[in-house]
Amino acid sequence: MRRSTLAMTLLVAAQAGHAEDVRTAWLESLAGERIEVARTTFDGSGYEIDWVEAPFADHFLSMRPFRCIEGPEKHWCHVPYPYEIRRDIGEDLIDLEYDFLFIWKGAAEYGIDTWNGVYYRLEDEGERLIGRLHEIDMNVISAPPPEGDLRPVREMDLERGDPEGHWLPRLVIE
């Protein structure tokens, strides 16, 4: 279990009657380019995400609509997690990781390849969360998980990605 100290801080603040905490989510390149993608509102152990419209463009890929950030060589397309999710960070950050799933495609490619999934494994670094890119075959979530299984992505489904080989290898929530 990867309990988050940020989650514990937010939970204690909520129990003390403090207001919700709004954080900005950025995707970041190795060169330090930052793209604001969402604002995340934490309230105790729960959260809500408000996606920023500006960096995303509508694409119809492989017979499905996607919201993509268009890069010079690759597009980074958000993949909304399609199944039940609690949006709870009281025990770990996995629900939040599921909300920030992406898939990349070449800028000149027509469709998407489910092998190009992006999963940001989040780590608590004090006042911010840092997501490091892991590769995932999105076929893992192509069919609904068994009822009651809210965590179908297993550790063996993730492979640490090479930051040098990807346009946006970091997710920062601060």
pLDDT tens digits along 125-174: 988 999 999 999 999 999 999 999 999 999 999 999 999 999 999 999 99
The reported pLDDT for the residue numbered 87 is 96
Terminal Cα distance for the chain, rounded: 22
Sign of CA dihedral 140, 158, 71, 47: positive
Q: Is the pTM of this model over 0.75?
A: yes
Q: Which residues contact 139 (CB under 8 A, 6 or more apart)?
A: 114
Q: Which backbone phi and psi does 119 adopt, to 5 degrees? A: -125, 120
